[in-house]
Each structure stands twice: as C-alpha cells, then as structure tokens.
C-alpha cells in the first residue's frame, strides 16, 4: 500500500504531535456540493450511488478535490447497510428518509435474523473501500464506519426514522431479552463489518451512535454503551504496520463522557452541546476528542465562522489529541464557500496551539 502523505488525522487520534489541528466533516460528501448532486442524478438514486463502488469512490473524493485542507476521507455509504443485509429491505422515500419493508417486532423475528457476511452480503461496501483507498493514493487516511447497535435497532424496530422511538423503547422495557438478542446480533454484525472495512483498506473507523442520547442514563449504559464496548474489544486495532484508531460518537452523550472514555476507543466524538475544554478536563489523557462546532454556524458569514473556530480551538487549548469536526453532519443548504472558509480557518488558526 502507498505511504500516507498526510497522516496528521491518525496522529491526532493517537494524541501524537501534529503541526496543525486536523479537520474533516461528517457528511462531507453530500448534498451541499453541486458535484455530488450531479453524481447522484447520474446514478439514479441514493442506494445506486452507495452500491456502485465507482460512484461511491467518486463522491468520496469530491470534497477532497474541492477542499485541499481536508485531512481525511470518509467512505461514502449508509449506516443502514447492515439491517438491509439482514433482509429488512431498505428503501428511501422522498421527504421521508430511510424505510424498511420488514420490521422487527417479536423475539421470533429477531431469532430469524442472519448475521451478514461482510464479503458475501456487503461486498459492494468492501469493494468501495478498496477502490477509494487505491484512488486516494496516500493523499489522506480513509475512515470506515458503522451505525451503533442501538441506533440500527431503532430503525429496524420502528421501520424507519422516529421522533419518540415508542416501539423500540417499549420493546426495551417490556421484553429486554428480545432487545438484548437483537443488540447482540447487531454487535456481532458491526464487528465483522468494520473488520472487513479495515482489511479492505480503512485506516480508522467510527461508530455512529446517533440515537444513544435519547436513552435514560441507565438504559444508555445497558443497551448502547455495553454493545459498543463489545464491538471495540473485537476490532482489528493494527493493520498494515500501524494502529487503526477507533472513534465513538454518541450524539447528546455529553453527560456520559467519562464512561464512554472507558469503553476502549481511541477518541470520542462530541456534539456541539459539550464545551470542548470541559470535556478535555473530564476525560484527561484517556482519549482524543473530535468535534464539535454547531453545523448551523456554516450558515453564518465567513468572518463569524472563523471567530467560532477560534473560540473552539482556544477552548481545547494547546497540544495534540483534537480532531476538528462539526458536532453533527453538514446540512444540505450550506454554501460550499462557507465550508471552505471553515476548513481554512481550522488550519490557519490552530498552528499556534502546536508549537
């Protein structure tokens, strides 16, 4: 494999010295870019984009071609590929988001679920990873990812997105045995899926626990964090002669940073509701931190964006162990010029913290 020309993202995740704070954006390959919209139109629909390795590679590289400041590429895919491979029948409804043809509602439904084989059942993702890695040619590291078991379970039980997770939470409290079986199967699936991505060329992996923050403190520990710990303990942590960092991101998980920091990952993703300096004080040297600008700041003028970047960098302070990112994904209506101003500001303003 080609040597990395820019490894500051991986170095920061391992708390090693860097020259500037590395930066990437969740959903950096997405609808805010006109070139992405053109590729999606050409592919026909979102799933055709995901399931064609050439298209997935094309849209993964688009933000890097536009923004030379990006310090990482992230695989273009969807968190719901695993439930789809379990036979749930993923499709996307205009204006409605992801939906499943089948829902999981009983213990028998869960017992019948297969654990997907990454090569046979999700081979298109593995092909996309290897294609992207080859085309990157060492420019920046490639991030692989998956949804967390709890987050995937909510979509499988609800049949799609939900505001209140009433079916999922009813199952959690009424039938915890069924919920634990579902989460255990998903943890096994996520572990083999991420290990497949690492073998195919992913150089870091992130687990997106989008809906963990909707649980009570006790339920979060038992039904979300416990299964992410299980995954982390089963991941390949060294490949191609270097460490493969793992990032855990629980949206609205700021109350539980100390326990997430004990989960065995190398870094925690933070949403914008956390104060970065306070989070650093709470977790100490256990983990690196990733985040955490409010994505809606990108609707503001470039000088306001630059000011907010400066405030967040100052909050973290001197030293490595910080990867700059948004606190959640970039939104479709953002002006690409504003995203560029954000990325430039991170590199320009962060050098002083790495002397």
Count of residues making up the chain: 355
- Kindly report the CA angle at 26 between 233 and 327, in degrees rounded to 5? 90
Cα 257 off chain centre by = 17
* Full-model pTM: 0.97
Q: What is the pLDDT of residue 42?
A: 94
Closest C-alpha among 181, 185, 223, 229 to residue 207: 229
Q: What is the pLDDT of residue 2?
A: 77
Active site residue 40: yes
Tokens in use for 87? 């036979």
Structural contact between residues 301 and 334, judged by C-beta atoms closer than 8 angstroms: no
Q: How far is CA 339 from CA 72, 209, 244, in A?
A: 15, 24, 28
Summarize the confidence of residues 186-203 as an average pLDDT: 98
Please say if the pLDDT value at position 105 is more than 70. yes
Extended beta strands in the chain, E state = 73-74, 90-93, 97-100, 142-147, 204-209, 238-239, 242-243, 246-250, 267-269, 288-293, 322-326
Active site residue 66: no
Active site residue 306: no
Structural domains present in the chain: 8-354 (3.20.20.210)
pLDDT band at 97 (very low <50, low <70, confident <90, very high): confident
**d(C-alpha 48, C-alpha 36), whole Å:** 13
Summarised one tens digit per residue, pLDDT across range 307-323 is 999 999 999 999 999 99
Please say if the pLDDT value at position 20 is more than 80. yes
Please say if the pLDDT value at position 95 is more than 80. no
Average pLDDT of the chain is 96
Q: Which of 32, 67, 155, 193 is catalytic?
A: 155
Residues with Cβ within 8 Å of 319's Cβ and at least 6 positions away in sequence, in order, are 353, 354
Q: What is the pLDDT of residue 187?
A: 98
Summarize the confidence of residues 247-265 as an average pLDDT: 97
Is 31 among the annotated ligand-binding positions?
Answer: yes
Please say if the pLDDT value at position 15 is more than 90. yes
Active site residue 31: yes
Q: What is the pLDDT of residue 355?
A: 83
Summarised one tens digit per residue, pLDDT across range 134-145 is 999 999 999 999
Closest C-alpha among 249, 277, 281 to residue 263: 249
Is 155 among the annotated ligand-binding positions?
Answer: yes
Please say if the pLDDT value at position 194 is more than 80. yes
Is 30 among the annotated ligand-binding positions?
Answer: yes
Map tokens 């995937």 to a residue.
152
Q: Which of 7, 78, 266, 271 is catalytic?
A: 78
Summarize the confidence of residues 33-42 as an average pLDDT: 96
Backbone torsions φ then ψ of 290, nearest 5 degrees:
-125, 130
Q: What is the pLDDT of residue 1?
A: 60
**d(C-alpha 153, C-alpha 179), whole Å:** 8
- Kindly report the CA angle at 148 between 142 and 149, in degrees rounded to 5? 140
Active site residue 166: no
């Amino acid at each position: 494999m080609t040597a990395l020309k820019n490894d500051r993202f991986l170095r920061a995740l391992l708390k090693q010295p860097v020259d500037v704070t590395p930066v990437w954006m969740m959903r950096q390959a997405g609808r805010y870019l006109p070139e992405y919209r053109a590729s999606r139109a050409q592919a026909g629909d979102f799933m055709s984009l995901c399931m064609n390795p050439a298209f997935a590679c094309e849209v993964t590289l688009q933000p890097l071609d536009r923004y030379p400041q990006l310090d990482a590429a992230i695989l273009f895919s969807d968190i719901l590929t695993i439930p789809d491979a379990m036979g749930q029948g993923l499709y996307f409804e205009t204006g409605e988001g992801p939906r499943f043809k089948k829902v999981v509602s009983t213990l028998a439904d869960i017992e019948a679920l297969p654990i997907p084989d990454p090569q046979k059942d999700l081979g298109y993702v593995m092909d996309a990873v290897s294609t992207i890695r080859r085309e990157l040619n060492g420019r920046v590291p490639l991030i692989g990812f998956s949804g967390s078991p709890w987050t995937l379970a909510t979509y499988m039980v609800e049949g799609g997105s939900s505001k209140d997770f009433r079916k999922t939470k009813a199952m959690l409290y009424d039938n915890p045995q069924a919920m634990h079986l579902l989460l255990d199967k998903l943890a096994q699936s996520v572990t083999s899926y991420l290990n497949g991505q690492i073998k195919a060329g992913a150089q870091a992996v992130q687990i997106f626990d989008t809906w963990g923050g909707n649980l009570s403190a006790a339920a979060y520990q038992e039904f979300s964090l416990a299964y992410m710990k299980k995954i982390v303990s089963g991941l390949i942590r060294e490949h191609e002669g270097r460490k493969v960092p793992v990032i855990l991101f629980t949206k609205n998980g700021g109350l539980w940073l100390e326990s997430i920091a004990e989960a065995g990952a190398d870094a925690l993703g933070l949403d914008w509701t956390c104060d970065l300096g306070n989070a650093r004080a709470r977790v100490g040297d256990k983990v690196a931190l990733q985040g955490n600008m409010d994505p809606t700041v990108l609707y503001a003028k470039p000088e306001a964006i630059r000011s907010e970047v400066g405030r967040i960098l100052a909050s973290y302070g001197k030293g490595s162990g910080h990867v700059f990112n948004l606190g959640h994904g970039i939104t479709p209506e953002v002006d690409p010029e504003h995203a560029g101003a954000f990325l430039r500001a991170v590199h320009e303003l962060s050098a002083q913290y790495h002397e």
